[in-house]
């Protein structure tokens, strides 16, 4: 249960944050500076009920090391500067937090899967560290601070959509403008629309983690020659917003719009798709999907399809070599789940 009470005003307790992953439906790529410094970018995405959990606490004095960081591996170091995990190291530097400190992260789904996990980690860690210092922060502050660390400090060739989706949660249209400013437009859905939309969502793990940096670096380099394609993809984000705001939206049109955007996205960089991904997409479409795409930058990770409920068994059978992961809409962004204080 998420607690909304007063956060601790001292740093001798334990903080746990829960931060959602996201599904990007349309507009991905227009959140990169290579595009939004020329034209406004727009992305429509939804947080989902799969999470990254971050724990922060003061490290006990009886341990040999003053700093311990647990993720896919464990680090036990003397100084913040010695931490190999880039996001942990730079977040601690950014907020001026020193030893002794313990940080741990665990996620519901694999890293490098196209669901924004790295940014969910950054947002969740910053939220936990602020709470550790007894500070409340807004979703906008978390989104901007995590973007600063990932993009400005670490030089990652990524956009800003993932940080905003993790911080704000819900289903939103995010607009990105020259200079890096962003706005958030919540999509107000009619009764039962979110449930009906996600009843059509089918998510399949390809078993292929991918290097988003490599894909996005090439995509950014190609952007000047792909402005028209990216602008059409931005328009798809606007079209989805307008469809979903209707009292009785045509959810088949949502799938078809996502598919039209995927056709364009495949041309943004050579590493976005593969013969294997194309085969899976063709199998799902032949089995009855309205549309589909690779989640995230491309190259692997998860495949997202929108499928009418009466055709899902056929799609599931067609993609039986892949692992399906059921997901639902998540209305909340990053939250402090457990502020525990020592007595």
- The answer to whether position 8 is within a domain reads no
pLDDT of residue 210: 58
Closest CA to 29 of 255, 218, 183: 218
If one counts every other C-beta atom within 10 angstroms of the C-beta of residue 299, the result is 24
In a domain, 1, yes or no: no
Domain assignment of residue 150, yes or no: yes
Among 290, 291, 294, smallest CA distance to 322 is for 294
Q: Cα 96 to chain center, whole Å?
A: 26
End-to-end CA distance of the chain: 22
Which pLDDT belongs to residue 120? 98
pLDDT in the model for residue 340: 54
Residue 5: inside a domain, yes or no? no
User: Does residue 111 contact residue 118 with C-beta atoms inside 8 Å?
Assistant: yes
Q: Residue 115 and residue 175: Cα distance in Å, rounded?
A: 19
CATH of the domain at 187: 3.30.230.120
Q: What is the pTM of this model?
A: 0.92
- Domain holding 335, by residue range, is 14-340
Q: What Å distances lie between residue 324 and 1, 120, 140, 275, 276, CA to CA?
A: 27, 22, 33, 20, 17
Between CA 216 and CA 296 the distance in angstroms is 10
Task: State pLDDT tens for residues 230-260.
Answer: 999 999 999 999 999 999 999 999 999 999 9
Q: Is the peptide bond before 100 cis (omega within 30 degrees of 0)?
A: yes
Tell me the pairing of strands 182-186 and 291-294: unpaired
Q: Quick one: average pLDDT of 212-232? A: 80
**Count of domains in the chain?**
1
């Amino acid at each position: 249960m998420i607690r909304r009470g007063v956060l601790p005003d001292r740093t001798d307790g334990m903080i746990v944050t829960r931060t959602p992953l996201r599904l990007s439906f349309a507009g991905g790529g227009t959140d990169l500076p290579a595009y939004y410094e020329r034209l406004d970018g727009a992305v429509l995405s939804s947080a989902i009920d799969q999470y990254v959990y971050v724990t922060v606490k003061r490290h006990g004095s009886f341990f040999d090391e003053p700093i311990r960081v647990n993720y896919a591996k464990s680090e036990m170091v003397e100084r913040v500067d010695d931490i190999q995990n880039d996001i942990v190291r730079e977040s601690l530097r950014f907020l001026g937090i020193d030893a002794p400190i313990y940080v741990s992260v665990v996620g519901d789904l694999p890293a490098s899967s196209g669901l924004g996990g790295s940014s969910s980690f950054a947002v969740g860690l910053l939220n936990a560290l602020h709470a550790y210092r007894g500070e409340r922060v807004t979703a906008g502050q978390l989104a901007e601070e995590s973007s600063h660390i990932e993009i400005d400090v670490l030089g990652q060739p990524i956009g800003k959509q993932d940080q905003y989706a993790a911080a704000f949660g819900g289903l939103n249209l995010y607009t990105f403008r020259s200079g890096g400013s962003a706005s958030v437009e919540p999509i107000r859905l009619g009764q039962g629309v979110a449930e009906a939309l996600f009843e059509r969502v089918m998510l399949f793990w390809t078993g292929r983690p991918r290097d988003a940096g490599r894909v996005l670096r090439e995509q950014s380099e190609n952007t000047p020659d792909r402005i028209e394609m990216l602008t059409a993809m931005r328009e798809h984000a606007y079209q989805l917003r307008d469809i979903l705001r209707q009292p009785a939206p045509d959810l088949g049109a949502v799938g078809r719009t996502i598919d039209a955007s995927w056709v364009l996205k495949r041309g943004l960089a050579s590493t976005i798709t593969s013969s294997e991904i194309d085969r899976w997409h063709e199998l799902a479409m032949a089995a009855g999907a309205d549309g589909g795409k690779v989640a995230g930058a491309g190259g692997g990770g998860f495949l997202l399809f929108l499928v009418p409920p009466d055709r899902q068994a056929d799609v599931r059978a067609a993609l039986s070599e892949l692992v399906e992961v059921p997901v639902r809409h998540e209305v909340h962004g990053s939250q402090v789940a457990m502020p525990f204080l020592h007595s």
